[in-house]
Amino acid sequence: MINDLWYKNAIIYCLSVGSFMDANGDGVGDFPGLMRRLDYLQGLGVTAIWLMPFQPSPMRDDGYDITDYYGVDPRYGTLGDFVEFAHGCKQRGIRVLIDLVVNHTSDQHPWFQEARRDAQSPYRDWYVWAEQKPPKADLGVVFPGVQSSTWDHDDVAKAWYFHRFYDFQPDLNTANPHVQAEILKIMGFWLQLGVSGFRMDAVPFVIAKKGADQTDPVEQYDMLRLFREFLQWREGDAIILAEANVLPATDLDYFGNDGDRLHMMFNFQVNQTLFYALAAADVRPLVKALEATSGKPATAQWGNFLRNHDELDLGRLSKKQRKAVFDAFGPEPGMQLYGRGIRRRLAPMLQGCRARLELAYSLLMTLPGTPVIRYGDEIGMGDDLSLPERNAARTPMQWSSEPHGGFTKSDKPFLPVIDQAPFGFQHVNAAQQRRDPNSILNWTERVMRMRKEVPEIGWGRFEVLPSGTPQVLVRRYEWRNNTVMFVHNLAASPREIRLKVKRAAPGEQDLVNLLSDDHSYPDKTGEHHIRLETYGYRWYRVGGLDYLLKRTDV
């Protein structure tokens, strides 16, 4: 059971092929380059790689505008290279998840080209059309400030087409059975090539009813069961990890009451309140979000993250909370995006403060669910705010202090490698950090190893314990009679907390520190006094060292 539901205790690493490693020297990362770095990823302890879109694309939205779902963009290599990569991962016990971007295609996709040219074409109904500009066309844009409408006129089709995202991304008419059949075919194709599942892009929009007459969103949740059933017929252990920034009240609609829809969802509620907690040293909204998202079917799982390839979306926070995060982590207008988010990477937001980075990562690793980390964050990479929109946080991986950070031999990388202090590749790179036992890279590796040895986090039930202050978060997880406890101090000054270990037999009340020798023993009254340094954190196993040795069932 433990291995079957592999995603319950996984560590997912998200990367885009183009920015990871360039083997052929054309300035763009590729599959052969990525293959050379698989041992690095295995050494880091990654158990699954999430590849961002790599199919042929005009690249107007970082590959989220696809022109052929069954191929590899020639910049990244060939389908053969993909298969070699998939095999390389399999040999190392690393699973592969890929992006499934089926809410829309590129406007250059042959389906759209045919649809717009010929009203009689069967592809016409693969997209969403209107004769007149729909009255609410200017509402519901996803990229305010850059996108002005969700409907645009197509001169060739002589009709209006719907696009939830940019105007070059026409929405597929996902209610059309032929489109649904094609989506299944796409999944089947990549499953056959060895992937273990999909990060499904923009799920609420995929399943929304689309059309000129749609005013309020209406979700067609049954579609999710259709995808799920197909997936499980083809590959028993394949999963869908949904990008769905929705309210907790609808979580079960996505997971399915019986766990018969999506396996995993990103926890946007926890992500946003976590950044508020870091910014304001106030864990109360985070605790609320943790509790609001705790009820889910046994086989379902949250994907937790700090940063991803998009802006840090703070749209679900209250105005006051959002302002606190902006003030702390993105005060300048150039750091903000779409009126709701921050386009910086983690390390610069935390001003490169090592203690705070560790705190943030320790929180991520111990959140109920499965951690999803972003390439480069393991070495504390920075951002380049001179690049437009979300590209600021998509610069090439910094491997060494060689020119262009060892990413490419070309003089013209597709995006510049960061070369300004303090986050330039001369100072922040994997090669240097590998040699330094105290580097953030080696710290991350150790913490990831320990995370995998604590399956209670991915599988168990958690409880937030009172710490006496909103600045300190204490959580206990229980699973199969094992108990672990995590303490995090979000304050910029030391704190002491006191607590008693309940339900443990006498002699088994010791708190064994999993990351250092600094164990905690109760005083005569059974109370622990835990002194946490600024941004300090502790991972404890409850039950004492002897108890630890008695465990047999992980």
Q: What are the residue numbers of the active site?
A: 201, 243
Smallest separation, CB 307 to ligand GLC (Å): 12
Out of 76, 126, 165, 535, the residue judged to bind ligand GLC by CB under 6 A = 165
Does residue 36 contact residue 94 with C-beta atoms inside 8 Å? no
Q: Which residue pairs, CB below 8 angstroms and at least 24 apart, start in 176-182?
A: 176/125, 176/126, 178/122, 178/125, 178/126, 179/126, 180/223, 180/226, 182/69
Q: CA-to-CA distance for 115 and 123, rounded, in angstroms? A: 5
Describe the crossing of helices 440-452 and 354-365 by its angle, rounded to 10 degrees. 20
Nearer residue to ligand GLC within complex by CB, 383 or 456? 383
Nearer residue to ligand GLC within complex by CB, 204 or 455? 204
Smallest separation, CB 396 to ligand GLC (Å): 18
Nearer residue to ligand GLC within complex by CB, 35 or 244? 244
- 359 contacts: CB under 8 Å, gap ≥ 6: 278, 488, 489, 490, 535, 536, 537
Q: What residues from 430 to 489 belong to the interface with ligand GLC (CB under 6 A)?
A: none
Q: What residues from 228 to 247 belong to the interface with ligand GLC (CB under 6 A)?
A: 243
Q: Where are the alpha helices (DSSP H) in 283-396?
A: 284-292, 319-329, 346-349, 354-365
Smallest separation, CB 305 to ligand GLC (Å): 12
Q: Does 172 bind ligand GLC (CB under 6 A)?
A: no
Q: CA-to-CA distance for 467 and 184, rounded, in angstroms? A: 49
Give residue number: closest CB to ligand GLC.
64
Q: Is 483 helix (H, G, I), strand (E, B) or coil?
A: strand
Of the candidates 170, 166, 183, 168, the one whose C-alpha atom is nearest the C-alpha of residue 130 is 170
Judge residue 537's burial from the number of C-beta atoms within 10 Å of its C-beta, 0-12 exposed, 13-18 middle, 19 or more buried: buried
Smallest separation, CB 187 to ligand GLC (Å): 17
Out of 152, 251, 282, 310, the residue judged to bind ligand GLC by CB under 6 A = 310
- 192 contacts: CB under 8 Å, gap ≥ 6: none
Q: Does 64 bind ligand GLC (CB under 6 A)?
A: yes
Smallest separation, CB 101 to ligand GLC (Å): 5
Nearer residue to ligand GLC within complex by CB, 243 or 251? 243
Nearer residue to ligand GLC within complex by CB, 64 or 305? 64
Smallest separation, CB 61 to ligand GLC (Å): 5
Q: Does 202 bind ligand GLC (CB under 6 A)?
A: yes
Q: CA-to-CA distance for 186 and 201, rounded, in angstroms? A: 14
Nearer residue to ligand GLC within complex by CB, 308 or 489? 308
Look-up: residue for tokens 């002491």? 496
Smallest separation, CB 401 to ligand GLC (Å): 31
Out of 107, 201, 251, 510, the residue judged to bind ligand GLC by CB under 6 A = 201
Within 10 Å of residue 395's Cβ, how many Cβ atoms? 26
Size of the residue set binding ligand GLC (CB under 6 A): 9
Q: Does 107 bind ligand GLC (CB under 6 A)?
A: no
Nearer residue to ligand GLC within complex by CB, 243 or 282? 243
Nearer residue to ligand GLC within complex by CB, 9 or 67? 67
Of the candidates 382, 334, 349, the one whose C-alpha atom is nearest the C-alpha of residue 145 is 334
In the stretch 110-149, what mask flags binding to ligand GLC with x, by CB under 6 A?
A: ----------------------------------------
Q: Is 289 helix (H, G, I), strand (E, B) or coil?
A: helix
Look-up: residue for tokens 């597709």? 414
- 462 contacts: CB under 8 Å, gap ≥ 6: 290, 294, 368, 475, 476, 477, 478
Phi and psi angles of residue 416, each rounded to the nearest 5 degrees, phi first: -65, 140
Q: Does 101 bind ligand GLC (CB under 6 A)?
A: yes
Smallest separation, CB 150 to ligand GLC (Å): 13
Q: By CB under 6 A, name the binding residues for ligand GLC.
A: 61, 64, 101, 165, 201-202, 243, 309-310
